[in-house]
Amino acid sequence: MRVKSARIHAHGGLDQIVVDEFDLREPGAGEVRVGVRAAALNHLDLFVLAGIPGIDMPLPHVLGADGAGVVEAVGPDVTNVAVGDEVILNPGLSCGTCPNCMAGEQSMCPRYEIFGEHLDGTFAQAIVVPSINCHPKPERLSWEQAGSFALATLTAWRMIATNAGVGPGQTVLIHGVGGGVSLVAMQIALAAGAEVFVTGHSEEKLKRAADLGATRCWDYRSANIAREVRSATDKVGVDIVVDNVGEATFADSIKACRKGGVIVTCGGTTGPKLPVDVRYLFWNHIRIMGSTMGNEVDFQRMLAAVSSGAIEPVVDSVFELEDTVKAFERLQAAEQFGKVAVRPS
Ligand SMILES: [Zn+2]
């Protein structure tokens, strides 16, 4: 079957993204073909575009990790979905047989793979995926919402719900609000009954975070975040820090954390080398927890939270597949508040 896609024939800049057609293979045993109604960008796509050291992906390569659509064809031995089902995709794949998979920690699988990174992705009119990656689309969501929340929401859920155990009455500092994961982390923390402080680098984004329920909003480029947090918490510090900004904010994150608090991270948008003063770390019993994506239980729980309306996926903008480069430009400029979606068909 010929499908139109946004893919790269070589690594590099945005000029490497080409919208063209290719022959999509038929689904094999345990696989289905999903007609993609909506997909969305993640920072991961920018890394894939540039090329990721250590990951040798065959080219040409279809971009995109997030997606939702309708099951169009099923291969042999598929029992959990049928033709016509509306589904969202779990972007992660694991081997299912290693000790970590057997322990239920799929995203710790040594052979863990993500659509659009290790395998062809969702920026296409259709994609062939294992049927176990298909989950029912929450009915109340638009296609653009449904196709854009999985990766960021799963990642945020793992960090702040599973790892940090956010709960009522806690205080949470979230850096870089506006980015997909940080925005969802804020929604999860608020839904859990926590008080949320945010930082960002745009007045507009901080204002929107305040509208959604953040009680303190600071520009991390100009404010002394550690001092502001101390002052807002009677010198105690926050229970949880979500820091995916990295080099620009991590020194403040450690100083803003209360004794026994936890800092969770899934990346560093301003750079990977963290300034860590070990004196603050040990004296204050601070834990730093890293994670990537989440396991099946995390996925089910975050999907339930989205289905119930506890988390509302925020879509910043929607682009047609032909305009995928424009979608990337928006992400690269860090102008977005919420997810940048792509509509393939
Ligand atoms: Zn495994």
Q: Is 159 exposed, middle or buried (0-12, 13-18, 19+ CB in 10 A)?
A: buried
**Taking all residues of the chain, what is their mean pLDDT, rounded to a whole number?**
96
User: What secondary structure does DSSP assign to 75-140, as a single string?
Assistant: -TT--S--TT-EEEE--EE--SSSHHHHTT-GGG-TT-EEBTTTB--SSBSEEEEEGGGEEEPPTT
Q: How confident is the model at residue 55 (pLDDT cuts 50, 70, 90)?
A: confident
CA of 104 to the centre of ligand 1 (A): 9
Residue 196 above 90 pLDDT?
Answer: yes
Q: For residue range 224-255, list pLDDT tens digits in order.
A: 999 999 999 999 999 999 999 999 999 999 99
CA of 165 to the centre of ligand 1 (A): 25
User: Which stretches does DSSP call E strand in the chain?
Assistant: 2-8, 17-23, 31-40, 61-62, 66-74, 86-89, 92-93, 113-114, 126-130, 134-136, 171-174, 195-200, 216-219, 238-242, 257-265, 287-290, 315-320, 339-343
Q: How confident is the model at residue 53 (pLDDT cuts 50, 70, 90)?
A: confident
Mean pLDDT (whole number) for 278-283: 96
Q: For residue range 293-318, list pLDDT tens digits in order.
A: 999 999 999 999 999 999 999 999 99
CA of 112 to the centre of ligand 1 (A): 7
Residue 73 above 80 pLDDT?
Answer: yes
Q: How confident is the model at residue 42 (pLDDT cuts 50, 70, 90)?
A: very high
Residue 20 backbone phi and psi in degrees, to 5: -150, 180
Mean pLDDT (whole number) for 331-341: 91
Strands 238-242, 257-265: pairing kind: parallel
Instruction: State if pTM tops 0.75.
Output: yes
CA of 294 to the centre of ligand 1 (A): 13
Domains of the chain: 2-149+313-343 (3.90.180.10), 153-290 (3.40.50.720)
CA of 15 to the centre of ligand 1 (A): 36
CA of 109 to the centre of ligand 1 (A): 4
CA of 266 to the centre of ligand 1 (A): 20
Q: For residue range 120-159, list pLDDT tens digits in order.
A: 999 999 999 999 999 999 999 999 999 999 999 999 999 9
Q: Which of the residue ranges 45-54, 155-164, 312-321 would you say has the lowest mean pLDDT?
A: 45-54
d(CA 323, CA 341): 11
Q: Which residue has the tokens 């038929």?
A: 26
State the pLDDT at residue 269. 85
State the pLDDT at residue 24. 97
